[in-house]
Structure 1
Amino acid sequence: MKKLIALGFTALLGFSGALHAAEYKIDTAGAHAFIQFKIKHLGYSWLYGRFNDFEGRFNYDPAKPEASTVDVTIKTSSVDSNHAERDKHLRGKDFLEVEKFPIATFKSISFTPLTDGKAELKGTLTLHGVTQPVTIAVSEIGGGKDPWGGVRQGFHGTTEIALKDFGITKNLGPASQTVELILDIEGIAQSMM
Structure 2
Amino acid sequence: MKSSCRISFLLLSTLLPLSGSLYAADYVIDTKGSHASIQFKIPHLGYSLLLGRFNKFSGKFSYDEKNPSNAGAEVIINTASVDSNHAERDKHLRSEDFLFVERYPEARFVSTGYHSNGDNTGILNGNLTLRGVTKPISIDVRQIGAGKDPWGGFRRGFEGHTKLKLSDYNINFNIGPASKEVELGLYLEGIRQ
TM class, shorter-chain normalised? 0.7 to 0.9
Distance 2:189 2:79 in 1: 21
Give the number of aligned pairs.
Answer: 171
Aligned to 1:74: 77
CA distance in 1, matches of 2:150, 2:66: 24
Provide the C-alpha distance between the structure 2 equivalents of 1:81 and 1:50, rounded to a whole number of angstroms.
Answer: 7
**Which one of 98, 114, 135 corresponds to residue 111 of structure 1?**
114
RMSD: 0.9
Unpaired runs of at least 5, structure 1? 1-19
TM superposition score normalised by structure 1: 0.87
Q: Hey, what does 1:158 align to over in structure 2?
A: 161
Rounded to whole Å, the distance in 1 between the matches of 2:103 and 2:181 is 22
Aligned ranges 1:40-189 → 2 under 5 Å:
40-189=43-192
Q: Deviations over 1:144-191 (max 9, x none)?
A: 11111000000010000000000111011110000000010000001x
Distance 1:93 1:180 in 2: 20
The CA distance in 2 between the partners of 1:172 and 1:133, in whole Å, is: 24
Q: Which runs of 4+ in 1 moved over 4 A?
A: none
**Which letter does structure 2 place at the counterpart of 1:130?**
V
What amino acid maps onto 2:33 in structure 1?
Answer: G
SS at match of 1:176: coil
Instruction: Show structure 2 runs of 5+ residues with no match.
Output: 1-22
Secondary structure of the corresponding residue to residue 86 of structure 1: helix
What's the offset of the Cα at 1:115? Answer: 3.4
CA distance in 1, matches of 2:37, 2:66: 26
Report sequence identity in percent. 57
Give the match for residue 7 of structure 1. none
Distance 2:24 2:104 in 1: 35
Which structure has the larger Rg over C-alpha atoms? 2
